[in-house]
């Protein structure tokens, strides 16, 4: 377990309950504690509806938990911060903004001057393979391209913490692998701390330093698996025996 003091983002005994329209309470999270050490890559995996998105919203400062506390850089997190970037499960693009303008949005909100915005957007268009599409509207993109725009938007602020909610969910297997490697490459050049929700066990093992497994609702972290592979990691890792063993361990924990 990572020491609380060194963690950049730290959740302490989080409980969260929703009240649905008919008044019935739904316990989404039950006693979730986790600590993210600076510069690490953590994957979060768990059955559908177990509260992963809810946990990410809480960690982003968007939702206040019923009980428990989130600390960011040693201070209680009471509202969203620019240094924490959340990439949503849905792409959440503005249909009236072009690809370029959608990616530019966080910089605009942060008051970055236009010339610098241009440079950074151009760079991200390049990394996400969206060059030539900057003047397209979201309605003119495929699902995977829209998701790439959302990823570019999440990265543009050069955040300290990157929370990703199934960012590759809308991508096909091939692009998914490519984007995963791309993400690792981008991540290696930043000092960002990453927490990524995924449904793919092999993706989790391939990308992360540590995989957290959640129980069905109410969500609770039931297993923590460290991934020992060194970086940079190549695609050949997927056939490594340790890799398959780790994947099997995680699969067993989920079921």
Partner 1 sequence: MPKPTVKVWMEEGVHSAIFAQQAVVGVFKLPQVTCLCCAIGLPPVHPNVHSTQKGRLLMSSITSTQVVSLSSQAPRPLPFWRRWLRKIEWRLLLLPVIGLLLWQGWVLLAESGYYADFIVPHPDTVWARLQERWADGSLVTHIATTLREALSGLFIASLIATALGYIIARVKIFDYLLTPYLIFLQAIPIIAISPLIIIWFGSGLASKVVIAAMITWFPMMIATIVGIRNVSTNLREMMRANAATHWQIFRHLEIPSAMPELLGGLKIAVTLSVVGAAVGEFVSAREGLGYLVMYGRGISDTPTVVLAVLMLTVVSLVLYSLVAMLETSLLSWRKAGKP
What residue ranges bind ligand ATP (CB under 6 A)? 18, 20, 26, 28, 48-54, 89, 217
> Per DSSP, what are the bridge partners of residue 193?
161
Question: Binding residue for partner 1 (CB under 8 A) from 46, 51, 106, 218?
Answer: 106
Residues 121-150, interacting with partner 1 (CB under 8 A): 121-123, 125-126, 131-132, 134-140
- Rounded Cα distance, 226 and 205, in Å: 9
Task: Specify the residue, 53 or 190, whose C-beta has the smaller distance to Mg ion.
Answer: 53
Q: Please choose which of Mg ion, ligand ATP, partner 1, none residue 51 contacts, taking the beta carbon within 5 to 8 angstroms, the exact cut-off set by kind.
A: ligand ATP
Task: Specify the residue, 104 or 165, whose C-beta has the smaller distance to Mg ion.
Answer: 165
Q: Please choose which of Mg ion, ligand ATP, partner 1, none residue 18 contacts, taking the beta carbon within 5 to 8 angstroms, the exact cut-off set by kind.
A: ligand ATP
Residue with the CB atom nearest ligand ATP in the bound state: 53
Find all residues with CB under 8 Å of 225, minimum gap 6, and list them. 210, 211, 213, 246, 249, 250, 253
Number of H helices, E strands in the chain: 7, 10
Q: Please choose which of partner 1, ligand ATP, Mg ion, none residue 132 contacts, taking the beta carbon within 5 to 8 angstroms, the exact cut-off set by kind.
A: partner 1
CB 53 within 8 A of CB 165: yes
Question: Binding residue for Mg ion (CB under 5 A) from 33, 40, 53, 190?
Answer: 53
Three-state SS at 166: coil
Q: Does 109 bind partner 1 (CB under 8 A)?
A: yes
**Of 123, 132, 129, nearest in space to 189 by CA:** 123
- Rounded Cα distance, 4 and 13, in Å: 13
Q: β-pairing, 210-214 with 221-226? A: antiparallel
CB 167 within 8 A of CB 147: yes
Q: How far is the CB of 164 from partner 1 (least distance, A)?
A: 12
**Of 103, 85, 107, 82, nearest in space to 94 by CA:** 103
Q: How far is the CB of 45 from ligand ATP (least distance, A)?
A: 10
Task: Specify the residue, 33 or 53, whose C-beta has the smaller distance to Mg ion.
Answer: 53
Binding site for partner 1 (CB under 8 A): 57, 60, 62, 79-82, 85-86, 88, 90, 92, 94-98, 100, 105-106, 108-109, 115, 118-119, 121-123, 125-126, 131-132, 134-140, 157
Binding site for Mg ion (CB under 5 A): 53, 89
């Amino acid at each position: 377990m990572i020491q609380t003091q060194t963690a950049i983002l730290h959740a302490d005994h989080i409980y969260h309950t929703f009240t649905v329209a008919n008044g019935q309470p739904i316990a989404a999270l039950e006693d979730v504690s986790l600590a993210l050490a600076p510069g690490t890559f953590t994957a979060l995996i768990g059955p559908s509806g177990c509260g992963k998105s809810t946990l990410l919203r809480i960690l982003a400062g968007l939702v206040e938990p019923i009980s428990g506390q989130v600390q960011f850089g040693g201070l209680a997190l009471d509202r969203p911060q620019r240094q924490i970037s959340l990439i949503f499960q849905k792409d959440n693009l503005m249909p009236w903004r072009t690809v370029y303008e959608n990616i530019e949005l966080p910089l605009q909100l942060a008051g970055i001057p236009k010339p610098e915005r241009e440079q950074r957007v151009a760079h991200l268009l390049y990394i996400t393979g969206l060059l030539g599409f900057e003047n397209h509207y979201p309605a003119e993109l495929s699902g995977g391209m829209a998701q790439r725009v959302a990823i570019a938007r999440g990265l543009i602020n050069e955040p300290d913490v990157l929370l990703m909610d199934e960012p590759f969910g809308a991508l096909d297997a091939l692009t998914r692998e490519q984007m995963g490697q791309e993400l690792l490459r981008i991540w290696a050049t930043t000092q960002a701390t990453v927490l990524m929700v995924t449904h793919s066990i092999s993706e989790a093992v391939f990308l992360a330093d540590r995989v957290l497994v959640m129980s069905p609702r109410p969500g609770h972290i039931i297993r923590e698996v460290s991934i020992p592979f060194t970086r940079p990691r190549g695609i050949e890792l997927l056939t490594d025996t340790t890799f398959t063993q780790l994947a099997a361990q995680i699969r067993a924990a989920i079921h």
